[in-house]
Chain A
């Protein structure tokens, strides 16, 4: 197996497949997932390729399956996911599959259509039922006034189309006879007389308006006048009835409830107030058959008079999408009709139930296989898609493919190909042929579940160039460690550790769940990172002696209090002097002494310590990055880069920044409280000031009796180091371009002098290229570049490195800054929240503490672990991407994307779930 230090060695291969065996072979390769095919006809568009028909058929099958899936989901039937991975079926099985899906789809569509028609009928009938019920109330009210029986509409018959329509009859299998209302004419005089009574009593103002409109239309009289006449004179009425029958009609229907106000206003305006509208709400929501939504509707009934108004009213109803239903005006007919409707609804219900059952059976049967089918269809599609990338041989007998394969896996690929040939029954074995190429191969890092997360962090910055040193193995340790420096708290680390550990332990069941929650997937993908980050944070937390901002006194403090009682009683602040008996002069065995938790100057003490370790780790980290670069140069055989880049880079870093690190150690070791005055803490020179003076060539000034230097000859050594570091700058800047220029001139000189041998040189170069492969080729390209460009490139590189090492060193101070922020934040949280629960007298404290603790715990997880953890994570990521990787990593490669069913199926599943 390959190692994680570099990407796999890849090679370009040509693959000759016999036409008959191609399908089976590609299917085997897809199961293997180790081959990346190249498109050999990039200028042919998707519709002109060879297997476009097959791909189209697969698309069609997929569409049908999606339709089925949608229906299954709609009914909430669980889909069986056995997790099994069926092999790609033979091409001839495709027809069977197609036929199955076709049959299923048609069946389902038919059932759905029938169900919809039935539902529409059901809706109509329910609406009619409501109309009959509600209008009964209207009529009853009116009858109370003794009017209604006279209302009639001779022209209603035209509306008496069979309510259920033909569809309904077919689907329901039973016809319903609707009562047709018989027109009644109002003729008799005594009945008209009874009208006037109604008008006088004022019970039904319907009649008033009807009467009015009637009179307006027919008599053309002033309405008030006519009213008085109608009220007063019997003669008039007699004359009226003589003019013809009073045609007072009504239509009844159902309309969406929210449309009622607009409908009412429209009616009023369009008919100039000559119609009368009554409406009642249907309490139960009705199901809209086309959308399946629950809608609220209202029953209305409109009274009017005359044909013109009738057409107008009908048009308005149509415009408002109200459905009109015939409603017989005789109570007996209505009752009969209501009975009919009820029985019809019952029948429909049974039919609907049977339709639903049938649909359910079909879907349950489909749900058992649907996942399996999806996998099969997607595999077939992927295979044909891949076959489309291939070139057709002139004889049409074989397909030619080009692919990138890892050199180590050629054997397994050969085996897979042989299996494929056997399966297809072909006799001619496929030929796998290695090719030489000048192209950069893809980068393929073989990862396992542990290294995958870390590799993803690196790849997010940029995929490594081919065969470049891969920073992942080092990141596995440095990433959690640098994170932990910023996140140092045993308590918070423990929470993170437990969370990560739980995910690692429950890995398999959790992975099987395949949640589509993006945040959860990020956490789960990085479970090993979280686990290690938690572990390392617990360690640094012990070093800082912080557990939820409290210290643990494990080994006993090494500081003593030697003050007597009265001193303590009468002084507000007291110091423990390390130069006296207060300190027993050997350090606390592990990490920080717990006494610092109670000290006023804890932060000042810790800042100095944490800043120094930040810089120390930073310089070591960067130096390590530069050293990793050496392996790159050695591997790519760039000797020039070693002498002209690597060596001056290391010297520069060592002479300036590593020297500063040494100064820190010298300061720690040399100066102590129990030493002489000049070696005492008061005389310790500041490392930062010393360093600044060193770079500026400024002599250090003597303060009092203290020596400004830490050791003899420091001034001279420092001057020497700065000069060496400065000399490295032109070395990095100029040495490489100049030597390149000289080499080139030498080559030209040779070529010119030995013109006769020119052919030989070229021939030898040709062989060199063939044997040397990619690296040689890179070298040649570089020489062909313009000299100017090389200078500029080198200039940028040098400036970046020199300025970078200053700013990057400073950048590592974020380790200190975040660590300080984290410690302070957790202390503030304890003091502001937890202390409220603790510092409480009396026995209710326990209950208060119970509540406060919950609050504190939530804040701890939310702010300190999640938010602070995220911020520390991002800073760590930056330190790796910018400060560490800029020293050796170019990240210009492209990743290896093998043709693999596993990846294709996962991607397809992810898109459908979105």
Chain B
């Protein structure tokens, strides 16, 4: 079943390849508690009573974000397969003309 044209499919392919690589790596960086990404964590209001509380929240945030990145990467894998299929269909139909 053909849904998108050749350009759209190619766009999806490139975007999903980029997404898979970058999100996988970002997930790894979150997982290893990269300091550079600390500003991207869901920290709520930022009022922490104790240090342990802060560490807890940050730790949870890192893990959460790592999983989120990997989930997004997985969805991009699906996108990749979908656009690849579309691209294949398009290239085949353009050949048969």
Contacts and interface: CB of A to CB of B under 8 A. Distances in A.
A597 B39 CA distance: 11
B71 interface: yes
Given A838-B65, A845-B68, A849-B23, A598 B36 contact: yes
Interface string B26-45: 00000000111111111110
A850 B51 CA distance: 33
Contact of A846 (B22, B44, B72): B72
A861 B34 CA distance: 25
A846 B35 contact: no
Given A553-B35, A834-B40, A846 B68 contact: yes
A550 interface: yes
A553 B34 CA distance: 9
Contacts of B44: 841
B40 A853 contact: no
Contacts of B64: 841, 845
A594 B40 contact: no
A565 interface: yes
A857 B23 CA distance: 12
B4 interface: no
Interface residues on A, range: 20 to 34
Contact of B39 (A569, A594, A835): A835
A857 B15 contact: yes
A569 B36 CA distance: 20
Nearest to A552: B36
Contacts of B41: 838-839
A700 interface: no
B72 A857 contact: no
A38 interface: no
B36 A597 contact: yes
A864 B95 CA distance: 36
B69 interface: yes
B75 A847 contact: yes
A551 interface: yes
Contacts of A569: 51
Interface of B, secondary structure class, is helix
B42 A850 contact: no
Nearest to B60: A841
A736 to B, nearest CB: 59
B65 A845 contact: yes
B68 A550 contact: no
Nearest to A565: B51
B68 to A, nearest CB: 4
B37 A550 contact: yes
A706 B43 CA distance: 46
B35 A849 contact: no
A46 interface: no
Interface string B6-21: 0000000001001100
B70 to A, nearest CB: 8
B36 A553 contact: yes
A838 B15 CA distance: 18
B82 interface: no
B75 A846 contact: yes
Contacts of A846: 67-72, 74-75
Interface string A828-846: 0001001101111101011
Contact of B19 (A552, A553, A597, A854): A854
Interface residues of B, number: 29
B74 to A, nearest CB: 8
B80 interface: no
Interface in B38-90: 38-44, 51, 61, 64-65, 67-72, 74-76
Contact of B15 (A551, A837, A839, A854): A854
B19 A838 contact: no
Given A569-B51, A845-B68, A850-B72, A857 B19 contact: yes
A838 B71 CA distance: 12
Contact of B40 (A835, A841, A850, A857): A835
Q: Which of B37, B41, B64, B68 has the most CB of A within 10 A?
A: B68
Nearest to B38: A598
Contacts of A854: 15, 19
B69 A849 contact: yes
A400 B47 CA distance: 94
Given A839-B42, A853-B19, A847 B36 contact: no
A849 B36 CA distance: 18
A551 B37 CA distance: 9
A641 to B, nearest CB: 54
A348 B37 CA distance: 77
Interface in A841-876: 841, 843, 845-847, 849-850, 853-854, 857-858
A119 B15 CA distance: 51
Given A839-B41, A841-B42, A849-B23, A594 B68 contact: no
A550 B37 CA distance: 8
A751 B68 CA distance: 93
B20 to A, nearest CB: 10
A850 B69 CA distance: 8
B71 A849 contact: yes
Contact of A840 (B22, B38, B68, B75): B68
Nearest to A844: B68
Nearest to B44: A841
Contacts of B43: 839
B23 A838 contact: no
Given A569-B51, A845-B64, A854-B15, A594 B36 contact: yes
Nearest to A550: B36
Contacts of B71: 843, 845-847, 849-850
B35 A598 contact: yes
A839 B40 contact: yes
A78 to B, nearest CB: 9
A138 B69 CA distance: 73
Interface in A186-220: none
Given A569-B51, A846-B67, A850-B76, A838 B40 contact: yes
A469 B41 CA distance: 57
Contacts of A839: 40-43
Interface of A: 550-553, 565, 569, 594, 597-598, 831, 834-835, 837-841, 843, 845-847, 849-850, 853-854, 857-858
Interface of B: 15, 18-19, 22-23, 34-44, 51, 61, 64-65, 67-72, 74-76
Nearest first, the 7 A-B pairs at minimum CB distance are: A846-B71, A845-B68, A849-B72, A838-B40, A850-B72, A846-B68, A850-B75
Given A839-B43, A840-B68, A857-B19, 4 more contacts: A838-B40, A839-B40, A843-B67, A845-B64
27 contacts: A553-B34, A553-B35, A553-B36, A594-B36, A597-B36, A598-B35, A835-B39, A838-B40, A838-B42, A838-B68, A839-B40, A839-B42, A841-B42, A841-B64, A843-B67, A843-B68, A845-B64, A846-B67, A846-B68, A846-B74, A846-B75, A847-B72, A847-B75, A850-B19, A853-B19, A857-B18, A858-B15
